[in-house]
Structure 1
């Protein structure tokens, strides 16, 4: 992800976007519970995360979140 960011000159935007996602995970018990829920598929979680952060996150981070559907986002 960072290699792509460097090639596109988006290092700062990617760093800020990752910080936003991380702070939301830490600051919102509801968001964290949503991501840990076994009743919601990983595909649904990824789609929701992209919709929630899509306009505030760099496209590289949004696409990365969509690609890691089989990974628990709270452990990244």
Structure 2
């Protein structure tokens, strides 16, 4: 279930276009994936799962969307 949700978040595809057959051996629909995503979002589960590694590895993570631009500028100035 988590893999299907992460796929949807990464690709930005519509829930209805989620390739559920790729993720499950049993018959689940996109509605089941959305149900779990919504449930876990509402109860704070996603936030807890995300925050723990972010805080643990904050020093080595580059979460800025402009990070590649800064890196290119630094390399160009060398």
TM over 0.5: no
| Length-normalised TM-score, structure 1 | 0.28
From the CA coordinates, give the structure whose radius of gyration is larger: 2
Q: Does 1 or 2 have the higher relative contact order (CA < 8 Å, sep 6+)?
A: 1
